[in-house]
Amino acid sequence: MASSGAISAARVADLERQLAVAEAARTSAEAARAEAESRLATSEEARARLERMIAQLRRDKFGATSEKSDPDQQHLPFEDVEVAEGRLAEASDAAAKATGNEKTAARTSRRNKGHLPPHLERVEQVIEPDSILCPCGCGEMVKVGEDRSERLDVIPARFRVLVTVRPKYVCRSCDGASHVQAPAPEWLVPRGLPTEALVAHTMVSKFGDYLPFYRQADIYRRQGIDLDRSMLANWSGRAAQLLDPIIDHMITSLKRSGHLQMDETTVPVLAPGTGTVRKDYLWAILRDQRGWGGTDPPIVVFHHSRSRSGKVARDLLKGFAGGTLMVDGHTGYDSLADPKQTARPWDIAYCWTHWRRRFVKFGQDTPSPICEEMVARIAQLYAVEKEIRGKAPDARKTARQTLSKPIVDALRPWLEARLQELPSASDLARHIRYGLKRWDGLTRFLSDGRLEMDTNGVENAIRPIPLTRKNALFAGSDDGAETWARIASLIGTCRLNGVHPDAYIAATLRKILDQHMTRDIEDLMPWTFAE
């Protein structure tokens, strides 16, 4: 009996242990269920947030009000939606993992778009198991392969101090009479703090990335480096002065070109002694032959002016070889084709995109079959342009004569017929007359394979100017505006040639300080630079 009682007691203890394990499992399951429910609720909240933002976008019809809206501004609401989409993806993954559905979580994750460039440094992070001993007691396991994956990492911008050391050597046999030491390198700022790389970074941040000096000073201050805004400006001014001959050489090269694009944009400039801001202009002149396989490197040059008049355009183009100039419909360019006003008259080609925008804008405000048809016909022309981009001029001309000319030839009588149906004072009639008045310039691309249909090239090159304008508010003087124009010319030309402007300016400043300018300035041009 005693034995039986002992067995019973042991059995009871075992049952109690089983009950405790079951209770713990139940508690764990309840906690897991609660976590899963919480994760699902979070996912649902993220989904609802995304739906609200998409609905708001639909209500606002963002981006449909004007083709002239800043493209970077148009991205802002979509970036918010994409952030919300990321939140939803993460919440969905967490919910899937909490419910034990790992495969669903894997499907909801987005793959990285694009690829990681091969020139980036690879830092391997090897993750070994806690033990490679075989559980059966056979000894250590043998490596038979590995899984590799790549992620993009970043090291936040960091500063360093470059210490220049110049050892001195003397001859002991001569009692120190003979000695040698490497000459001190020329510094951009005599006895100053910055290297050429720091100054280049400051200039590109200001004139290429739309970051005013005072904001840069704040960024530096967060790393414990106190650099005054005026000091950054002084450094950039010194560098700009050294780089002036390079920009002058770019202009000289540009003057030899016979096919150019030209455009202008406003820049606010502080009027001396008044405390008020004046609306000035930056004019852009572009050479880009990539569309027809030309051999001359692309160049963009900016000029500051107080006016948008035709006289400014004529003055800026003095000394140019002449040829064909593609512009928008601004009447200030008309005098360039007049032999009475211009020593070397230009053939003016007009931009189809500017004409198209008129119909797009009108059709958004007032639905019109004429606008829809006009936009559709222009789209046919651009479809041809897409197919012939990069081909030789003769091939482009042949394709345009075969495919584009019939579309253009049919367009004019159709527009003239529509004019008869419209009140002469209507806006739509005015938009039609805009193009008919400029018909010769609009159709000039049909007979010259070296021409584009539009001024999109120069408009893309000029786009950083308005963005810098919004961040920097205004230029402090005429000299400041001209410096802005010249540095923007250098940065813009670097970008057109696929050159990193920071690296180019830093290396070029070093070469100038080492007197390379006196040997061969052509070797210092952005299109010859190789990192």
**Worst-scoring range by mean pLDDT, 133-147, 195-209, 302-316, 374-388?**
133-147
CA dihedral 200→203→204→210, nearest 10 degrees, is 160
Query: Cα(162)–Cα(153) distance, rounded to whole angstroms?
Result: 25
| Range 420-446 average pLDDT | 92
Task: Give percent above pLDDT 90 in the chain.
Answer: 33
Show Cβ contacts of residue 466 under 8 Å, excluding neighbours closer than 6 positions.
Answer: 70, 265
CA distance 62 to 439: 33
pLDDT of residue 99: 65
Q: Tell me what pLDDT residue 56 has.
A: 61
pLDDT computed for residue 65 by the predictor = 43
> Would you place residue 77 in the very low, low, confident or very high pLDDT band (cuts 50, 70, 90)?
very low
- Predicted local distance difference test score (pLDDT) of residue 440: 94
Section 182-194 average pLDDT: 84
Mean pLDDT of the 228-244 span: 86
CA distance 351 to 285: 15
pTM over 0.85: no
For residue 74, pLDDT beyond 50: no
pLDDT at 112 over 80: no
At residue 31, the pLDDT reads 76
pLDDT of residue 169: 87
pLDDT at 191: 79
Model confidence at 68: pLDDT above 70 = no
Structural tokens at position 287: 């050479």
Burial class (CB in 10 A: 0-12, 13-18, 19+), 251: middle
Give the number of C-alpha atoms closer than 13 A to the C-alpha of residue 80, restricted to the C-beta side.
Answer: 14
Top pLDDT among 387 and 98 is at: 387
pLDDT digits (tens, 9 = 90+) for 487-515: 999 999 999 999 999 999 999 999 988 88
Q: What is the overall mean pLDDT for the chain?
A: 81
Half-sphere exposure of 498 (CA within 13 A, CB side): 3
Q: What is the pLDDT of residue 85?
A: 55
Indicate if the pLDDT at residue 257 is higher than 60: yes
88 contacts 46 by C-beta, under 8 angstroms:
yes
What are the residue ranges of helices labelled H in 223-320? Answer: 229-255, 310-316
Which band of pLDDT confidence, cut at 50, 70 and 90, is reported for residue 62? very low
Lowest mean per-residue pLDDT among 2-6, 32-36, 453-457, 519-523: 2-6
Question: Residue 453: what pLDDT?
Answer: 94
CB 225 within 8 A of CB 159: yes
Extents of the domains making up the chain: 36-55+80-105, 256-500
The pairs formed by 117-126 with CB atoms below 8 angstroms and a separation of 24 or more are 122/150, 123/153
User: What H or E segment, with its residue span, contains residue 287?
Assistant: strand 277-287
pLDDT of residue 263: 92
pLDDT band at 301 (very low <50, low <70, confident <90, very high): very high
The residue among 472 and 163 whose pLDDT is bigger is 163
pLDDT grade for 67, boundaries at 50, 70 and 90: very low
- pLDDT tens digits, one per residue of 26-55: 777 777 777 777 777 777 776 766 666 666
* Termini Cα distance of the chain: 94
pLDDT per position as a tens digit, 120-152: 888 888 888 888 888 887 888 888 888 888 877
